[in-house]
Structure 1
Amino acid sequence: MAIAAFAVLLAAPAAQGACRQALALGLDISGSVDAREYQLQRQGLAKALGADDVARAILQQPSAPIRLSVYEWSGPRAQTVILPWTTITGADQLDAARQQILTAPRSVQDQTTALGSALLTGFAMLDTQPDCWTRTLDLSGDGIANTGPRPQDIARSRTPQGVTVNGLTIAADGAAGAAEVQALSAYFRAYVIRGPGAFVETALGFEDYAAAMERKLLRELQSLALSDARQ
């Protein structure tokens, strides 16, 4: 699966012109994610990208657009790109990217949670976008790593220069899930997120994933706009 994913990645055409942000999004499809939750995650990402405020922020500077890529991850060798790097220059491109996220074939699911491998996959993807002003990796997850490499074993020095890694932790359903996700968010803060302004957003169940993703995207895009304004 990893070979197929990187074949798609390397086959993506080189983008033209300025790029203000490269945004790679990694979706957790490990064994703890059932079929309903899998669909809620894909649908939630597509919905968040199409939300009025998010779309407006993405499309606000067509002369220096954002590039998006999405991959699904689970085990150490199970990472699959479902949206190769796509330059979003207008509403048509954004709609097409959202449609591909919704309709791409389902990736083969490994039962384990290789969060460190997901991190390294995102690094490799962002390494192909060196001309973007900022580069961001978003990792969604509903559990800690249970197979290697673990995020805490990946030195901060291996993070590509200038890359920010943000997290979106997902609570299990019910009252117990709300307590457990606090520990998961602490784990992400300690070992997963890194880089300038890195943060963790929380979804209180997969039903809340779209709203949490929208909040996270707006925060990232607004931070970028403020950074541009200071230049």
Structure 2
Amino acid sequence: MRGFGAAALMVAALPVHAAECRLALALAVDISSSVDATEDTLQRSGIVAALTSPEVEAAFFASDLPVALAVYEWSGRYNQEVILDWKMIDSRAALVRAAEVIAASTRSHNDFPTAMGYALGFGAQLLARSPDCLRKTLDMAGDGQSNEGFPPASAYREFPFQGVTVNGLVVNAADFEGEVGLIAFYRGEVIHGPGAFLIVADGFDDFERAMRRKLERELTPPAIGSLGLEGDAG
């Protein structure tokens, strides 16, 4: 017993591991061929406006621990490009600089299909090299269902998604049947992990509002969402 007590005191004396940040957040932007140039511009400007909105800025700095942010674009199976590599958002200046990088970015591809499984796998690998954060979240935004390569379920089996939450931002399809099918696809196959949720944008003109609402929900402590569908709240 005496030896056990000494061992317990030694363990208690060991330094407690401290995380660098409270959340590693990766935003995935759909640039498949169904997204035209105007819509791509609305996405990029929408992300920039959402990130720098007063509500999202307040959510970024609602805790003493900062947030790590990365952004990448995706389309075909071999077409993923990092727009913003991991940036620690520990001040308003850092947030503005991150937004400026996104604002200055240009589309890398415009003629490839929607390889959602590959996009998810790329996101998992990006998160695997993120700073040491308490939680990890991947945001998948898109206007169509996966139509190339392996499905999301395969990505969740084969890539390191343990402890990762995948949220979705659906951009409504032009016709009602397609819209319902896309929402069902995201709800059934894309969102994944603890507290995962879905936000719906009513077309690309509504992308900024939807992105702002999603970021507020993810960033505001304790940033735990309920599994389900959130439509036009905001």
TM class by shorter-chain length? 0.7 to 0.9
SS in structure 1 opposite 2:69? Answer: strand
Q: Map 1:129-140 onto structure 2 (within 5 A).
A: 129=130, 131-140=132-141
The structure having more radius of gyration, on CA atoms, is 2
Unaligned regions of 5+ residues in structure 2, if any? 1-17, 226-234
Q: Map 1:1-231 onto structure 2 (within 5 A).
A: 18-61=20-63, 63-129=64-130, 131-156=132-157, 158-173=159-174, 176=175, 178-222=176-220, 224-225=222-223
Q: Which has the higher helix share?
A: 1
SS in structure 2 opposite 1:42? Answer: helix
Give the letter aligned to residue 107 of structure 1: S
Matched residues in 2 for 1:126 and 1:192: separation?
17
The count of residues paired between Structure 1 and Structure 2 equals 208
TM score, norm. by length of structure 2: 0.83
Does the aligned pair in 2 maintain the 1:78–1:109 contact within 8 Å?
no
Residue 4 of structure 2 is matched in structure 1 by none
Deviations 1:135-190 (A, max 9, x none): 000000100011011213334474422100000010135xx2x5522221110111
Unaligned regions of 5+ residues in structure 1, if any? 1-15
CA displacement at 1:17 relative to structure 2: 6.5
CA RMSD of aligned residues (A): 1.9
Matched residues in 1 for 2:224 and 2:145: separation?
33
TM score, norm. by length of structure 1: 0.84
Matched-pair identity in % = 45
